A = this chain, B = another copy of it.
Amino acid sequence: MDTDKLSSGTCAISRGLALVGDAWSALILRDASLGMTQFDQFRTSLGIAPNILSRRLKALTEAGVLEKRRYSERPPRDEYVLTQAGRDFLPILAAMGEWGRRYNGGGRALSHLVDDRTGQPIDAVVVDGNTGKPLRDTPMHLVMPTV
């Protein structure tokens, strides 16, 4: 079971998994959510090797999470901006952070979402879309096609 099979699979979950399975990708999304757009901004912020960064940016772009946009023709310059899909992925990362903090971490909110308008931390919780109730202590099971 390689990454190709993962991202090309028919399962919707597997596409998300293929995305965040890599550690750098989450950090790139973080920086992108902070407004970073340029190759070298990411590179210096993360201390990542340029070829790796290039590979990740391409993967994230192909996944539809980032969009590559040319903002200068001479010299040719591209920038990477979050798409709607990319912005929608942030809450999922945040929910994962809440989970990790609840069961493994200390009380410190080392990773979290911040509302741009208020500057206040957001606590991301996964709820049942119909009832609005948190999906905790709900007896349930996961249905997933075999990849």
Chain A residues within CB distance 8 Å of chain B? 1, 5-6, 10-17, 20-24, 26-27, 29-30, 33-35, 46, 64, 84-85, 88-105, 110-117, 121-130, 132, 135-136, 138-147
Contacts and interface: CB of A to CB of B under 8 A. Distances in A.
A111 B100 CA distance: 23
A129 B139 contact: no
Given A1-B24, A96-B16, A124-B129, A88 B111 contact: no
B10 A110 contact: yes
Given A30-B142, A113-B143, A135 B91 contact: yes
Given A16-B97, A17-B96, A122 B141 contact: no
Given A122-B140, A139-B115, A103 B88 contact: yes
A144 to B, nearest CB: 4
